[in-house]
Amino acid sequence: MSKTKKVIVISNAFLLTAGIESLVLELSGMLVDHVYNGSERNLCEKIISGKPEFIIIDPNSVNEKLIPLLRELNNEKDIKIIGVISSFSNQNIISKFSYTLNSQNNKYQLVEAFSKIVGKRNLVDMGNEQLLSKRENEILRQLALGLTNQEIADKLFLSVHTVMTHRKKITRKLGIKTVSGLTVFALMNKLVDIREVERQG
């Protein structure tokens, strides 16, 4: 079993924070360890003591002077600093981040961008994928494409009961309960392509 990767979020915006937490929760092997207000005292010390692998920052929530200090953490502690930006973000601010996520992208675009930043093999316990049978991988692929149990049964010439049984096994083996979480897993293990998912959406 791979080690859980800790994420710290720095943001004053509730909706943005909730969105980041929701995204991270969908990814096996990732955990939002702390959420900090950008104006908190001794923020760098708190981050160091938390020992995160990743820090996701809303640039609008922190003093510009803090960003170079956080980048030093990147160099010294091998912590990846990720800025959440939009088309309205100041280019000067954007240039201060080695990695960025665009808040205006859809969920699957964000997953793809995030997985490239952190490394796909670090996000998922690949041993879990190998536990799935060929049939389970086929069903997982169809689930990721948005098909219902009945549609999967018709396409793969199975009974609905058989599809539901396989779904339960997939959920148990991967420890992922939501369809969106299974979709993320399928994307990151190349069972589906993001363009296929977007076409179905």
Q: What's the farthest any 2 CA atoms get from each other in the chain?
A: 61
112 or 151: which leads in pLDDT: 151
CB 174 within 8 A of CB 82: no
The token pair at 70 is 């956080």
Domain boundaries in the chain?
5-123, 126-200
This prediction's pTM: 0.63
DSSP string of the chain?
-PPPEEEEEE-S-HHHHHHHHHHHHTSTTEEEEEEE-TT-TTHHHHHHHH--SEEEE-GGGS-TTHHHHHHHHHHHH-PEEEEEE-TTS-HHHHTT-SEEEETTS-HHHHHHHHHHHH-HHHHS-HHHHHHS-HHHHHHHHHHHTT--HHHHHHHHT--HHHHHHHHHHHHHHHT--SHHHHHHHHHHTTSS-HHHHHHH-
Same fold, 5-123 and 126-200: no
Provide the pLDDT confidence category of residue 117 given band limits of 50, 70 and 90: confident
CATH number of this structure's domain 5-123: 3.40.50.2300
Residue 195, pLDDT > 70, answer yes
pLDDT, residue 163, reads: 96
Residue 77's pLDDT is what? 67
At 146-177, the pLDDT tens digits run 999 999 999 999 999 999 999 999 988 887 77
Q: Tens digits of per-residue pLDDT, 28-57?
A: 678 888 898 887 888 878 887 888 889 899
More confident residue, 155 or 86: 155
What single letter denotes the amino acid at residue 73? L
The CATH number given to 126-200 is: 1.10.10.10
Assign 126 a pLDDT band (cuts: 50, 70, 90): very low
13-17, 143-147, 151-155 — most confident range = 151-155
